[in-house]
Structure 1
Amino acid sequence: MSDKKIKVTLVKSVIGTKQSHRATVRGLGLRRLNHSVELADTPEVRGMINKVSYLVKCEG
């Protein structure tokens, strides 16, 4: 496995979103607005980011 990282930032509030999308944001480790985390670049993480792409900003 490569050691590539993705920086993910929550840029939109989860208020009013589906419960499963809120759970996905929490699963990514994001707690509050403008909170950023660095995650491993795996297909699982990419899928989670894709699911809530309208809430997060992703940097390579």
Structure 2
Amino acid sequence: MAAQLKVTQIKSKIGGNSQQRNTLRSLGLHRIGQTVVRDDNQVNRGYVKAVAHLVKVEEVQ
């Protein structure tokens, strides 16, 4: 089974630019403390890198 990323929003998107807000929405995050599990691929890694200051990431099997 492929590795997955557990992404948790830890900071507010208020004050961020529209691209950062759209990236959080693309990841499926809508509120602080919300966690989603996404496939570990280049697209999701790019999303996480764009909003690294707003999220916490863990690798899960």
TM-score (norm 2): 0.93
Gaps of at least 5 residues in structure 2 are: none
The residue that corresponds to 2:19 in the other structure is 20
CA RMSD in angstroms, aligned pairs only:
0.8
Taking every aligned residue pair, what percent have the same amino acid on both sides?
39
Gaps of at least 5 residues in structure 1 are: none
TM-score (norm 1): 0.94
Counterpart Cα distance in 2 of 1:29 and 1:3: 20
> How far apart are 1:3 and its partner, in Å?
2.0
Instruction: Output aligned runs, 1:35-46, within 5 Å.
Output: 35-46=34-45
Counterpart Cα distance in 1 of 2:14 and 2:42: 27
Q: How many equivalent pairs are there?
A: 59
> How far apart are 1:4 and its partner, in Å?
1.3
What whole-Å deviation, never above 9, does each CA across 1:9-55 have from its counterpart, x for those lacking one? 00000001000100000000001100000000000000000000000
Counterpart Cα distance in 2 of 1:6 and 1:55: 15
Structure 1 segments (4+ residues) deviating >3 Å: none
